[in-house]
Amino acid sequence: MTTSPRTLMRVHFHLPGPDPVLYEQLLDVLTGITPQVEAHPADFSADADLTGALRYWGTDPAGLVDVLRLRALALYGVLTSSGTGPNRTIAAMAAALTPPGAATIVGNTPYDIAAFLRPRHVAALPGIGPTTARTLSRLGITTVGELADAPLPALQRILGAAPARQAHDRARGIDDRPITPGAAPRSLTLSHRFHADELDTDQHHRTLLGLTERLGAALRQDQQITQALSLTVTYADRTHTTRTRTLPEATAHTPVLAALARDLLASLGLQRARVRALAVRADRLQSAEHAVHQLTLDDQDDRLRRLETVLDRVRSRYAPGIIGSAAAHRRAS
DNA sequence: TCTGGGGTCCTAGGACCC
DNA sequence: TCTGGGGTCCTAGGACCC
């Protein structure tokens, strides 16, 4: 079976500064060209599938990229740098080596793909970070072409089965990851960095309680529940420890999250530890429609859940941080 | 150019069950 | 009753991406 060739694009918007509103407007420009857009707000870039849009607009990838470049510049004064190619790996690599205001177009013939990929350094291949690049260079593999020619079993012994398969495929121009617009996140993290290294365990607990309250509220607002919670403690020397615990049932109920987070922190047994930051992550998110709350005979629990619903409404009406437990806000005297 | 934050995926090892 | 093997789940940590 063969699949029809795709044309994917990675575009970087070169904003004058962090401006989420402007970024949203630029995404609107892009979705005016193709609805198949995946946003990357962290660095103001986006991936897009141009395959259908090429037929709709009756042009080639260079023409479509130029439409985007001109509109972003004319409407918002923003420069773009774009890369296009037959898959996400090649589009990302092409964009990465393109200066602002320009585009790199890679064709979809085997010759085009090999000519683009093979001479490049392995570290330019998405999925090959500094650690893996060092490992490969010790084996004499420094270019994408050498990686493509290396025997897969040997790579698997060195890099592990899945990473080796992925690197080997991508080096040969194989990458069938689709563009998935609006994909729901699989986890949600909230963190707090202390102004100075914090030794007070009571303050650790209060901060953690505040984080879990915000996490619970955010999950309930997004109609999501979490199946597991992780706590990451970062110390003064920038090392960190993570502890994960699975919940008996998925929930977004703050008291349950707070109790679990408290247990995770206690399990680390921090005594006089210089803590620089705390982070809580809700893992394995699922839609709240799937919630199966075990019926209990505990009136207190039901009252807390009703109270939580009321407080969520107040928060949404005023400000996210306006309500929280007194314990989370009390400062050590 | 570097750093940090928030996210994903993978692996290894241990616990547990059948 | 004991042992061993295989499968599954959980957890910690590493590597990487944007």
For the cut 80, the answer to whether the pLDDT of residue A316 exceeds it is no
Read off the pLDDT of each residue in A110-131 and give the average, rounded to a whole number: 96
Q: Establish if A181 belongs to a structural domain.
A: no
Q: Measure A252 CA to B16 C1' (Å).
A: 28
* Model confidence band, residue A268 (pLDDT cutoffs 50, 70, 90): confident
Amino acid A269: pLDDT:
85
* A196 is a domain residue: yes
Interatomic separation, CA of residue A43 and C1' of nucleotide B12, rounded (Å) = 33
> What is the CATH classification number for the domain harbouring A46?
3.30.70.270
Considering the domain architecture, whether residues A20 and A143 belong to the same structural domain is answered as yes
How many domains does chain A contain in total?
Answer: 2
Phi and psi at A78, nearest 5°, equal: -110, 130
Q: Residue A3 domain-assigned?
A: no
d(CA A132, CA A136): 6
CA–CA separation, A166 vs A128, rounded Å?
10
Q: Which of A129, A145, A171 is the last residue of a domain?
A: A171
pLDDT value at position A322?
52
Average pLDDT over residues A307-324: 62
Question: β-strand A188-198 against A8-14: which pairing, if any?
Answer: unpaired
CATH number at residue A234: 3.30.1490.100
Q: Are residues A14 and A142 in the same domain?
A: yes
A177 within some domain: no
Q: DSSP state, A120?
A: S
Q: Which domain holds residue A288?
A: 188-329
**In this structure, are A17 and A166 located in the same domain?**
yes
- The pLDDT of residue A332 is above 50: no
What is the value of pTM for the model shown? 0.85
Residue A228 belongs to a domain: yes
> Are A162 and A204 members of one domain?
no
State both tokens at A72.
Answer: 């972003």
A118 in the same domain as A245: no
Q: In the complex, which nucleotide's C1' lies nearest to the CA atom of residue A132?
A: C15
> How big is chain A by its Cα radius of gyration, in Å?
24
Whole-number Cα distances in Å, A222 to A8, A184, A210, A288: 30, 10, 19, 9
Residue A241: CB less than 7 A from any atom in strand C: yes
Q: Which two tokens stand for residue A240?
A: 């960190």
pLDDT number for residue A333: 35
The nucleotide minimizing the C1' distance to residue A131's CA is C15
User: Which of A171, A200, A224 marks a domain boundary?
Assistant: A171
Please choose, from the candidates A12, A151, A183, the residue with its C-alpha nearest in 3D space to the C-alpha of residue A93: A12
Q: What is the pLDDT of residue A238?
A: 85
**Predicted confidence (pLDDT) at residue A270 exceeds the cutoff of 90:** no
- Looking at every residue in chain A, the average pLDDT score rounds to 88
Judge whether residue A209 contacts strand C, using its CB and a 7 Å cut-off: no
Indicate if A19 and A148 belong to the same structural domain. yes
- Which residue has 């039901």 as its token pair? A302
Instruction: Give yes or no: residues A24 and A161 share one domain.
Output: yes
Task: Judge if the beta carbon of A321 is closer than 7 A to nucleic acid strand C.
Answer: no
Q: What is the pLDDT of residue A304?
A: 64
A27 and A163 share one domain? yes
- What is the average per-residue pLDDT within A172-185? 90
DSSP A319: -
Residue A92: left if φ>0, alpha if ψ -120 to 50, beta else—which one? Answer: alpha
